[in-house]
């Protein structure tokens, strides 16, 4: 009764409603508010800043305490220790980088190179890798495929495109949600619709580097199409589900959030046991805490904060 909607392509809010209610436009692409570390721009009370620091320390200590009590000292989890780069130099855009229905997943994941430092450490090209790249290119060529070697792996290019995209999208009088649903009309194999959230994140670069690269060609295609025929607003015929249970969004209170951030600072990847302990201390569901950590990790990897250029 609630798990049946695996991936409802989100019903369009207004099929043919020429309503454009863009938010206050670009809230500035360079408005970096979410620091990638335990120093969130809290605009709380004046005394909050002081308390916050002390609290954070206390929580951090508590986190360590938890770790100790669990009897697990885990030095640290060497997860992203392996540094790898894209398997092939230029194949991202040509190999169906997007989702089909909701089973997207194209395993072209760049395997977390170095997280925040991947961009600056990438220039470390091994001879073997170069050779492999050449070989791959040769293979593609032999296959008769004109590999679209888009050099859009460049963060700057992506940033520039995102900016242009937003500008032109607004010029067309189209909302982010409209763009999302319109993508399905492009009939690009393997490309369905996207949500307003994703379009928004693309424009604000709050997506992973790889995700940006995958979405760029698609959004570019839409843009050209839309500008070519500046008149169709497309509508996404989707049946309305009657009586579907609405998902409720849990809201973690500020105090708990601060604690979680403190724990995260000392242990970004707590074990199941630690998560359980934290959940208990904060009186939150274990799953909520687990997901919180997952989301927090993802945030660290977003373009805006991983770029060191």
Partner DNA sequence: ATGCATGAGGC
Partner DNA sequence: CCTCATGCATA
Q: Which two tokens stand for residue 252?
A: 């973690």
Q: Which two tokens stand for residue 167?
A: 């500008």
We find the least distance from the C-beta atom of residue 141 to DNA, in angstroms, to be: 26
Cβ(297)–Cβ(269) under 8 Å? yes
Phi, psi of 302 (to 5 degrees): -70, 145
Q: Which residues pair with 302 in a beta bridge?
A: 208
Alpha-carbon gap, residue 134 to 239, rounded angstroms: 49
Residue 42 or residue 138: which is nearer to DNA going by CB?
42
Alpha-carbon gap, residue 212 to 159, rounded angstroms: 9
Question: Taking each helix axis from N to C terminus, what angle separates 272-282 and 254-266, rounded to the nearest 10 degrees?
Answer: 150
We find the least distance from the C-beta atom of residue 7 to DNA, in angstroms, to be: 7
How many other C-beta atoms can be found within 10 angstroms of the C-beta atom of residue 267?
Answer: 21
Residue 26 or residue 119: which is nearer to DNA going by CB?
26
Residues near DNA (CB under 7 A) are 3, 6-10, 23, 26-27, 33-34, 79, 98-99, 102-105, 107, 109-112, 176, 180, 192-198, 200-201, 203-204, 206-208, 210-211, 214-215, 246-252, 257, 269, 272, 275, 287-288, 290-295, 297-299, 301
Residue 140 or residue 213: which is nearer to DNA going by CB?
213
Alpha-carbon gap, residue 277 to 286, rounded angstroms: 8
Residue 141 or residue 285: which is nearer to DNA going by CB?
285
Residue 63 or residue 98: which is nearer to DNA going by CB?
98
We find the least distance from the C-beta atom of residue 206 to DNA, in angstroms, to be: 6
We find the least distance from the C-beta atom of residue 200 to DNA, in angstroms, to be: 4
Alpha-carbon gap, residue 79 to 297, rounded angstroms: 13
């Amino acid at each position: 009764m609630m798990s049946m909607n695996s991936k409802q392509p989100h019903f369009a809010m207004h099929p043919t409603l020429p309503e454009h209610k863009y938010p206050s436009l670009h809230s500035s692409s360079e408005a970096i508010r979410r620091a990638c570390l335990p120093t969130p721009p809290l605009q709380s009370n004046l005394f909050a800043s002081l308390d916050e620091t002390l609290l954070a320390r206390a929580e951090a200590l508590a986190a360590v305490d938890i770790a100790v009590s669990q009897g697990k000292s885990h030095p640290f989890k060497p997860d992203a220790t392996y540094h790898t780069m894209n398997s092939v130099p230029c194949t991202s855009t040509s190999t169906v980088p997007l989702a089909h229905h909701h089973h997207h997943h194209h395993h072209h994941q760049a395997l977390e190179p170095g997280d925040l430092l991947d961009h600056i450490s990438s220039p470390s090209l091994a001879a073997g890798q170069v050779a492999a790249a050449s070989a791959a290119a040769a293979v593609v060529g032999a296959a008769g495929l004109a590999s679209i070697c888009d050099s859009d792996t460049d963060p700057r290019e992506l940033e520039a495109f995102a900016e242009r995209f937003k500008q032109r999208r607004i010029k067309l009088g189209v909302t982010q949600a409209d763009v999302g649903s319109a993508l399905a009309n492009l009939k690009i194999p393997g490309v369905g619709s996207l949500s307003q959230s994703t379009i928004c994140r693309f424009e604000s670069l709050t997506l992973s580097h790889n995700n940006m690269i995958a979405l760029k060609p698609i959004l570019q295609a839409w843009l050209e199409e839309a500008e070519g025929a500046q008149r169709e607003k497309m509508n996404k015929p989707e049946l309305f589900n009657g009586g579907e249970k609405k998902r409720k969004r849990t809201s973690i209170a500020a105090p708990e959030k601060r604690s979680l951030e403190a724990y995260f600072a000392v242990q970004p990847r707590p074990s199941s046991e630690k998560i359980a302990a934290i959940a208990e201390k904060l009186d939150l569901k274990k799953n909520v805490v687990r997901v919180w950590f997952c989301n927090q990790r993802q945030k660290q990897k977003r373009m805006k904060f991983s770029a060191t250029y």
